[in-house]
Structures are given as C-alpha cells and as structure tokens.
Amino acid sequence: MGDLFAAADARHSLFFALLPGAAEAAAIRAARQALEAGQPPQRGAGVPDERLHLTLHWLGEWSQLPQALADDARAAAAQVRQAGFVLRLDQAECFGRGEAIWVLRPSAPPPALERLHQALAMALAGRRIRLPAGPAFAPHVTVRRRASVRFPVQPVAPVDWRVDGFALLQSVHGSGGVRYEVLQRWPLAAE
C-alpha cells in the first residue's frame, strides 16, 4: 500500500498554443498591471511571462504523457499551412465560476485565427486524434488566476501580437507547481 502522505503523481497535459514573443509578453504584462492598478489588492498572482499563451487545442491530461499521441500531434501540425497574422488583444474579461480568472481577448478575432484553429482540428482528425469535448473556441490569454475581484468586460490598451507560428506544449502539474515544456514549434508563412 502506498504512503498516504506522499505527494500526488504529476499530471501531464498536451496542448497546441500561440506563444507571445518578449515584446508581446511585456505588453500583456503591462495590460495586466494596468488592470491591477484599478482594483484593490488581489490574492493569487499574475501569470508569469514564460506561461503566457493562447490555447488553440487542448488534447487532454494524463498521469503519464502518451508518446504516440504526442508523435501523432506533431505529424498533424506539420501538415498545417497558413500565413501569419496580427492578433489584437483589446478587451479584459473575467472567466471562471469559483475563482476569478482574468483574461485578455480580442474584441474581433481575426479570421486567420479561426482558420488556424480549424486547419489544426482537421489535421488532428486526419491522424484520428479525438479532441476532448469542451466549450466553443474562445480565444484568450489568461493573465491572473485566483483573483478576488471580478469586473465586467472592459477595453484595455491594445496589444498587437504578430503571430508567426504555433507550438505543441506539455504542461506538467506536480507538487512543485506547473511548468510548461515546448515540445515543438511550427512557423506560419510570411504574409
């Protein structure tokens, strides 16, 4: 019988995401700080720059990463052909039911973002990868978790993000917290 007081095993998630460059991450951080300045002190913390992302597709969570699935996901992503685009994050909103999760999102998502989302879904289906059921695609970047204050949708200083690629990431959630590992990146064509 195992030790009842031992740390729980790590959980591994696999997902495709857009990753901001250093300039975009700094602009996202500044937008979060501007939101914080207009609110009372918050519990929780802002998302660190190295974990900022916009999820395209979440593939699931396991106690151990299924290598065959990761390999098939890589093969699917390699089939996606699309030009890069600009994504403008210009609104803040709160998500979550129990805890308040602050996000930045586009008020008008560019059609190229939806095309990338769909092209990747089709490529994954072509490799017989079933996507978990979930809510409709709502592009956003989480900037704060476990906040104590909710606010209505509001404009923020726009963050113009030049999207020139996407990545496959593994998230490992264990006793030491959450860490992300980029498994592979794919470029989008120059416009």
Pairing status of strand 165-174 against strand 11-18: antiparallel
- Based on the residue annotation, tell me whether 12 is a catalytic residue of this protein: no
- Based on the residue annotation, tell me whether 140 is a catalytic residue of this protein: yes
Task: Yes or no: say if 73 and 128 are a contact pair by the CB < 8 Å rule.
Answer: no
The active-site residue, picked from 12, 57, 117, 140, is: 140
141-159 burial code (b ≥16 CB/10 A, e <16): bbbbbebebeeeeeebeeb
The active-site residue, picked from 53, 57, 117, 173, is: 53
Task: Quickly count: other Cβ atoms within 10 Å of residue 68's Cβ.
Answer: 7
Task: Yes or no: say if 77 and 123 are a contact pair by the CB < 8 Å rule.
Answer: yes
**SS3 assignment, position 21:** coil
**SS3 assignment, position 8:** coil
Task: Yes or no: say if 29 and 49 are a contact pair by the CB < 8 Å rule.
Answer: yes
Catalytic residue positions, numbered = 53, 140
